[in-house]
Structures are given as structure tokens and as C-alpha cells.
Amino acid sequence: MARDMAAIVVALAIVMGVWSRQPAAAEDGQVDLLLVLAADISRSVDDKKFRLQRDGYAAAIVDPRVVRAMQAGAFGRIAICYMEWASDQDQRVIVEWTRVGSPGEAKEVADRIRDAPRSFMGRTAIGAAIDFSMNLLSRSPFGAPRQIIDVSGDGTNNSGRDVTLARDAAIERGVIINGLVILSEIPLPTNPMHTHPPGGLTAYYENNVIGGPGAFVLEAQNFESFGQLLIQKLIKEIAALPLVPPG
């Protein structure tokens, strides 16, 4: 009888142990945010600008303020996927979906961004970049209550599908698209309207690219200031903070 009771106690302990571990296992694939960083490396982004952009992303991801924002949510981590794009057939994932919730994990992502070779120099297909980012979100191994595509670029859509159609399709699926425009002091000689559209590039992104609840676009005056502005942008979207108008 005593042996039977002991066996029952052991069995119950095993069952309770398995049950108690289930929530942790279920939450293991959960993060607070799925964030696709979609960086423009089209022809207007020369080698110097390309390096400044890569370094800006890498520096922003490891910035202590950004890491603290990643740790502040319910799960204490987000998942990042970094991709680069140009023409409608030119998209490449540089950093696959990676969970980030510590300075060490952030550094691993930053190092991979810095070290990867440049893939191409094509036209500017923002719509295709959004569509590609949506596919990345659909195959993420992580679950999250929020999904954001973060598009940075220095020109208008001039290749592939209409960017507004891609934007609207993303919004319908509950995805937010934010933007970071990089201004050029001198219009692109071969196509000045590309970098300097009527009303300015920021207005173009506001009207055609960004969308979803709380979506916003920030404006970097040049590639040199891109990194510092990106830090502010990441903190706002990771922490879901409202955008405060300047001044």
C-alpha cells in the first residue's frame, strides 16, 4: 500500500512538473514586437552612404537606450529581421529573425549587419520591399502582439508594384509601417524628382508609404545624421511611444 501511495505521489509530481513547465515553453516563442528593418540600398545610395547607413543601424541596435526599450515589454525581448532592398526583384535578408533582449544579443545582430557584403545597386521598389517584408512577418518563428515594418530610404518608388497598394495590403493585416527618410542636399542628376519630389520626400512617405495606427515618419537631414535619428525612432516604435511633434 505504501509503495502504491509513493508511486501515485511520484506520478503526480511528474504531471505537475510537466504542467508547470508548459506556460514557460509556450511563452518561449513569444516576443513583444516583430520588427522588420527594411533598408534602401538602391543606386542613389553610393558606397559611402551605404556604409554610413549600415553603421547607423548597427550602432542604434546596441545603444543602451534601445536595448532598455527592448527589455521593457511584457516578455522583455523583441524579434528583429534586417533586410535590404533595391529594384522589385532585389531583396536580401541580412539578419534572419533573431530574438533580442540583451546587450549581447543586440551586439550579435549589429556585427552581422556590419560584416555582410553589399548585394546590389538597383532602382527603388518600396512596394516590393513592403511585400517582401510581409512575407518575412508571415514566416517568423516568433509570435507578438505587434508587427512593424521600418522602411528607410532616400527616394520615391520608381520600380515594381504601386507602393500604396502594398501599404494598404499591409495595413489590412494589422501591420504598421513607419518610415525614416534620408534627405539629399543635391537632387539626383539623372532623376531629380526621385530624391526631391513635389512637397518633399517626407511628405511623399507620409502620403504613400507609412500607415497603420500611430504610424510616423522621421526625417534625417543626411546619412551622417541617420544613426542618431534611428536611435530615437527605434525607441519610439519598440516602446510604442506617441510621436511628439518637434518644437
The answer to whether position 85 is within a domain reads: yes
CATH code assigned at 45: 3.40.50.410
Cα maximum dimension of the chain: 92
Report pLDDT for 99: 97
What is the domain count for the chain? 1
pLDDT interval class at 11 (50, 70, 90): very low
The answer to whether position 38 is within a domain reads: yes
- 3-class SS at 212? coil
Q: Measured between alpha carbons, how far is residue 180 from residues 1, 30, 76, 78, 155 in Å?
A: 72, 27, 25, 20, 11
User: Mind listing the pLDDT tens digit for each residue in 175-204?
Assistant: 999 999 988 877 767 767 778 889 999 999
Rounded Cα distance between 133 and 127, Å, is 10
Highest mean pLDDT among 19-28, 163-172, 183-192, 223-232: 163-172
Report pLDDT for 46: 84
Report pLDDT for 7: 45
The answer to whether position 7 is within a domain reads: no
243 pLDDT more than 70: no
Secondary structure of 25-89 as H, E, C letters: HHHCCECCCEEEEEEECCCCCCHHHHHHHHHHHHHHHHCHHHHHHHHCCCCCCEEEEEEEECCCC
Give percent above pLDDT 70 in the chain. Answer: 85
168 pLDDT more than 50: yes
103 pLDDT more than 50: yes
User: Mind listing the pLDDT tens digit for each residue in 23-42?
Assistant: 333 467 999 999 999 999 99
Report pLDDT for 184: 80
Rounded Cα distance between 48 and 122, Å, is 16
Q: Parallel, antiparallel, or unpaired for β 78-85 and 34-40?
A: parallel
> Is the Cα dihedral 109, 221, 212, 245 positive or negative?
positive
The answer to whether position 19 is within a domain reads: no
The answer to whether position 163 is within a domain reads: yes
108 pLDDT more than 50: yes
- Domain span holding position 66: 30-238
Report pLDDT for 194: 76
Residues 6+ apart with CB under 8 A from 65: 231, 235
Task: Indicate the DSSP class of residue 151.
Answer: E
The answer to whether position 192 is within a domain reads: yes
Report pLDDT for 75: 95
Report pLDDT for 27: 65
CA dihedral 237, 229, 196, 92 (to 10 degrees): -60
For 243, what's the count of Cα atoms within 13 Å in the CB-facing half-sphere? 14
pTM for this model (two decimals): 0.85
Rounded Cα distance between 231 and 85, Å, is 21
Name residue, grid cell 502504491.
4
